[in-house]
Amino acid sequence: MSSLPDRQHVTAQDVARKAGVSRAVVSRALSNNGSISPATRARVLQVAEELGYQVNFLAQGLNRQRSHLIGVIVSRISDPFRSSLLDGLLSEIQRHGFQALVSEIHNEQELAETLRNFTQFRVSGVIVTSGKPPEALVNQCVQLHIPVVGINRQPDIPGVDYVCSDNEAGATLAALHLIRAGFHRFGWLNTQNSTWAGRMRGEAFAQALKQSGVNIKHHLVSLVAKQEGYQGGFLAAEKVGLDIQGIFCANAQLACGFLDGMRKRGKHAPEDFQLIGFDNTPQTEQYSYPLTTLHQDITELSRQALAHLLARTRNPTRPSQTSWVKVSLIYRRTSPSV
Amino acid sequence: MSSLPDRQHVTAQDVARKAGVSRAVVSRALSNNGSISPATRARVLQVAEELGYQVNFLAQGLNRQRSHLIGVIVSRISDPFRSSLLDGLLSEIQRHGFQALVSEIHNEQELAETLRNFTQFRVSGVIVTSGKPPEALVNQCVQLHIPVVGINRQPDIPGVDYVCSDNEAGATLAALHLIRAGFHRFGWLNTQNSTWAGRMRGEAFAQALKQSGVNIKHHLVSLVAKQEGYQGGFLAAEKVGLDIQGIFCANAQLACGFLDGMRKRGKHAPEDFQLIGFDNTPQTEQYSYPLTTLHQDITELSRQALAHLLARTRNPTRPSQTSWVKVSLIYRRTSPSV
DNA sequence: CTGTTAGCGCTTTCAA
DNA sequence: TTGAAAGCGCTAACAG
């Protein structure tokens, strides 16, 4: 003899009936939107509670033309830095009451499809941590008032906001640290298909060396890894000249691989050469990889990303903004002691 | 002079108008569902293409009472095994044309809230990789015909399907491998708040030793780490007796930490002690952590999870099933050579 | 094979 | 403050 209807879910209609009001009132009570007397509101909420009412987000989204979903585009999430970043992003997304639609992509085409899919779900925003979205699609998002924010992407699409670690500053810190140790022969290690962030780091590193009087033509060697990640760094170490002194790596995985590759050759940091990485992944604080590294502030990166998203939601036509997040040098045991 | 309406999105109505048919026909053409002449179908698809029509998933889901979303519950995804698992799951989910709603939880209460949120989006299924969902909520899912599948969870809730790595078999392999090396003093390392899978591994390890004639009362010491992950293993190594010979770890992070903790004490595997881990994370194939380990077949785990989901979608009342996925011992350099 | 119709469950004017 | 009514965009049952 339950008073519940035969239907599967309790609807606003059910609540309305039981509370003796109209559906509209129920909607107002729950959304805190539109005027309603405190008394009615309380009663409706009470009944809703009793009935275990839960808003149907699909219906709500359909009506509002916007779901409580935020699309996140990632790739290779088993990479430690990327999974940490995703972690930070998820926390932040959930903290703001959204749910994350996560999509892993393997190429630009999948990125395009994913972006389309996201719009079909009327997401409240898109966060791109990997790949470069085709401008046409992004423009469509912009037109639909779906905020798009890129993390560590080249800030070049109008209408998109960006948040980037301050790669230049980081690379400069690395260069200065190495120079102060009195080195003369420097190395820069990156992968063949580097991201924009990686390239920035390399350019800034060279630039900083140069400004400190290093003849980079002769004293900076550029190592390019054929593969991404640990393996790439490991193999790159096989053929590096052993007279090299201070090496800066585009990211943590490359650095760990390089360190191991050198170990295999019997060379160790900081005695035989010195190494600075980027990212400060958990692995680089482990006993066996005590890597001096530039710390990316993932929490801040995530916060800023959401902040941009929300700001643009309020004002869809505001000019594009890029936030630069400070990086800091973490001194460990692969570089000169300070 | 565009023929497009002023509205933001192209709707089925627009396509219908331009193709000179009714909305229903458009729906049929796109969903391949309900009879329609090949000619009309082709024409409709053509027009849809031209107009750049995209189904509104919110409306579709509202009507069908089911979205193309699959909820995934995770925690601590910066842990290498977990991020690898998530990776596998995402691939599999996307391969089947779903989108993943990923939610990171920190306790059972968040799990409950998340589960509710998922149902509010009318997900097509839920995959739980962490925590133990309250049975009441799960029952609600079951009633709503939302399939729930647990990965590496204790298979004990009716109506839920499970896929687990074969922990017993893995632990037995480990025990046998260590015994064959002629050892007498064994160790088992796990965290204080272990998962069910971890406990299973420990029990099976002890059991296997016993069956091989080891007096586990005296010759098996159980180390419990106060913290999870690398740090837990590292600290656990600080106080282990140095006469220990063969140690089995509940997971890869503990094992790496333990290895490093012992290194700090000047003890190395396999010379001074021997170590077998679980999970075969990428890190354990690195030069500095050449860990003998049990490989969890993430691809298979993911496939089975989706298979259960789809099977139960077709037949919501089928009896609960548990799939056991084979694990294999990967021989590296922390254990006796074979 | 195709069109009409009646919802799916919610929000939001607009009157009362 | 409240209710009635229209509509978000799509699907499915039913006639024709």
What is the number of other CB atoms lying within 10 angstroms of the CB of residue A136? 8
Q: In the predicted model, is pLDDT for residue A34 greater than 90?
A: no
User: Which of B335, B304, B296, B334 shows the shortest CA–CA distance to B92?
Assistant: B304
Provide CB contacts within 8 A for A274, sequence distance 6+: A178, A181, A183, A245, A246, A247, A292, A334, A335, A336
CB A14 within 8 A of CB A22: no
- Three-state SS for B80? helix
A7 — pLDDT class (breaks 50, 70, 90): low
- Mean pLDDT, range A312-318, rounded to an integer: 94
Size of interface A-B (CB pairs under 8 A): 137
Helix (H) or strand (E) holding B323: strand B322-325
Q: Is strand C within 7 Å of residue A37 (CB)?
A: no
For residues B54, B60, B62 and B67, what is the CA-based torsion angle, rounded to 10 degrees? -90
Instruction: Decide: CB of B63 under 7 A of nucleic strand D.
Output: yes
What the block records as the tokens of A246 is 């201070």
Domain boundaries, chain A: 7-55, 63-166+298-325, 167-296
For residue A204, CA distances in Å to A135, A174, A212 come to 27, 10, 12
* pLDDT tens per residue across span A75-118: 999 999 999 999 999 999 999 999 999 999 999 999 999 999 99
* Radius of gyration over every alpha carbon of chain A, rounded to an integer in angstroms: 26
Residues 6+ apart with CB under 8 A from A110: A103
Q: How many Å apart are CA B73 and CA B307, to the nearest integer?
A: 18
Q: According to the model, what pLDDT value does residue B163 have?
A: 98
- Percentage of residues of chain B with pLDDT beyond 90: 93
CATH superfamily name and code, B167-296: Response regulator (3.40.50.2300)
CATH number of B63-166+298-325: 3.40.50.2300
Q: What does pLDDT average to over chain B?
A: 95
Residue-wise pLDDT tens digits, A193-251: 999 999 999 999 999 999 999 999 999 999 999 999 999 999 999 999 999 999 999 99
pLDDT in tens, B61-72: 999 999 999 999
**Residue with the larger pLDDT of the pair A18 and A34:** A18
Quote the percentage of chain A above a pLDDT of 90.
Answer: 93
The tokens describing A225, both together, are 């890894």
Establish if A69 touches chain B: CB-CB under 8 angstroms: yes
Q: Average of pLDDT values for A314-322?
A: 95
A17 touches strand D (CB under 7 A): no
Interface list for B 74-113 with A (CB within 8 A): 76-78, 80, 83-84, 86-87, 90-91, 94, 99-104
> What is the distance in angstroms between the CA of the first residue and the CA of the last residue of chain A?
77
Q: Are A290 and A280 in contact (CB under 8 A)?
A: no
Q: How far is CA A138 from CA A26, A73, A116, B52, in A?
A: 37, 13, 10, 15
Q: Name the residue closest to the C1' of D1 by its CA.
A: A36
User: Residue B1: pLDDT above 70?
Assistant: no
Q: Which of B4-18, B66-80, B295-309 has the least mean pLDDT? A: B4-18
Residue B34, pLDDT score = 82
Residue A5's pLDDT band, with cuts at 50, 70 and 90, is very low
Is there a shared CATH topology between the B7-55 domain and the B167-296 domain?
A: no
Locus of tokens 């005695």: A271
Whole-number pLDDT of residue A338:
72
Q: What is the pLDDT of residue B35?
A: 86
Residue B7 has what pLDDT? 60
Q: To the nearest whole percent, how much of chain A has pLDDT over 70?
A: 98
Average pLDDT for A283-307: 98
pLDDT digits (tens, 9 = 90+) for A149-178: 999 999 999 999 999 999 999 999 999 999
Average pLDDT for B17-23: 93
Residue B31 has pLDDT above 70, yes or no: yes
The H or E element spanning position B149 is strand B148-151
Contact B158, B313 (CB under 8 A): no
Q: Please report residues of B whose CB lies closer than 8 A to that of A116.
A: 54
Residue B208: the pLDDT is 98
**A77 and B87: CB-CB below 8 Å?**
yes
DSSP per position, A16-41: HHHHTS-HHHHHHHHHT-S---HHHH
pLDDT at B4 over 60: no
State pLDDT tens for residues A269-279. 999 999 999 99
Return mean pLDDT, chain A. 95
| B56 in contact with nucleic chain D (CB within 7 A) | yes
- Among A220, A230, A291, which residue's Cα sits nearest to residue A76? A230
Which CATH fold topology does B7-55 show?
A: 434 Repressor (Amino-terminal Domain) (1.10.260)
Q: Percent of chain B scored above 70 by pLDDT?
A: 98
Question: Best mutation site among A92, A121, A142, A145 for testing chain B: the one with the most B CBs within 10 Å?
Answer: A121
- Do A273 and A244 touch, CB atoms closer than 8 A? yes
Residues 6+ apart with CB under 8 A from B125: B70, B71, B146, B147, B148, B149, B309, B312, B313
Q: Are B268 and B262 in contact (CB under 8 A)?
A: yes
pLDDT tops 60 at residue B170: yes
* Strand arrangement of the beta sheet that strand B186-191 belongs to: B220-225, B186-191, B246-249, B274-279, B292-296, B327-330
A35: the nucleotide nearest its CA (via C1') is: D1
In A109-177, the DSSP E strands lie at 125-128, 148-151, 161-165
Asked whether the beta carbons of A284 and B78 are under 8 A apart, the reply is no
Measure the CA angle with vertex A219, ends A215 and A223; round to 5°.
Answer: 130
Nearest to A260 among B57, B67, B288 (CB): B288
